[in-house]
Amino acid sequence: MRDDPTHLAEQVSSVLRHLVLLLRRTVAGQPVTSQQYGVLGSLEGGPRRMTELAEEHAVQLPTMTVQINRLEDAGLVARGSDPADARVRTVELTGEGRARLRAVRQARIGHLTRELAALTEEERATLAAALPVLAKLGRS
């Protein structure tokens, strides 16, 4: 019974709770919120339209509008227009936005790297093996 799905589900549930709390602690008080960071990340490859951003982040369009408004006020992104379709607004990183993104990413990866460095080689291997499985969850 040790490896039946229900028992495993309870364990996963408990670990997930731990990870969520950990994330909350890690993220608190950074120069951009985690949502803002996520949006900036989506813009790294070039301008995107509002609908794309909303879908990618699984939020409604008005939510993304507000989010982008804040980022625009902060000078991290700029709105533009699609010459081919006057309905669509595009959003792209400003120089400052790009710099901020880099800095926050570095801080986050650095934090996580230090956590992982505290593990043994074997534990890291175990974790690495499980990542593809975790990535598969919810895709079914």
Partner DNA sequence: GCCGGAATATTAGCCAGGCTAAGTTAGTTG
Partner DNA sequence: CAACTAACTTAGCCTGGCTAATATTCCGGC
Q: Which residues of 19-43 are buried (b: 16+ CB within 10 A; e: fewer)?
A: eeeeeeeeeeeeebeebbbebbeeb
- Whichever of 2 and 87 has its CB closer to DNA, that residue is 87
Kindly tell me the sign of the dihedral angle through the C-alpha atoms of 13, 32, 54, 70.
Answer: positive
Per CB under 8 A, the segment of 18-26, 63-71, 73-81, 90-98 that binds its own copies is 18-26
8 A C-beta contact, residue 79 and residue 72: yes
Q: Which is nearer to DNA, 88 or 99 (CB)?
A: 88
DSSP label of 76: S
Q: 106: part of which helix (H) or strand (E)?
A: helix 95-117
Q: For residues 3 and 85, which CB has a smaller minimum distance to its own copies in the complex?
A: 3
By the rule CB under 8 A, 115 interacts with its own copies: yes
Could you say which of 13, 30, 60, 71 contacts its own copies (CB under 8 A)? Answer: 13
- Choose which of 12, 99, 103, 107 interacts with its own copies (CB under 8 A): 12
DSSP 29: T
In the complex, least distance from residue 90 CB atom to its own copies, rounded to whole angstroms: 23
Report the DSSP beta bridge partners of residue 82: 85
107 binds its own copies (CB under 8 A): no
Q: From 20-28, 67-75, 78-86, 92-100, give the range in contact with its own copies by CB under 8 A.
A: 20-28
| Residues 62 to 101 in contact with DNA, rule: CB under 7 A | 62-70, 79, 82, 85-90
Return the bridge partners of 80, or none.
90
Contact between 109 and its own copies per CB under 8 A: yes
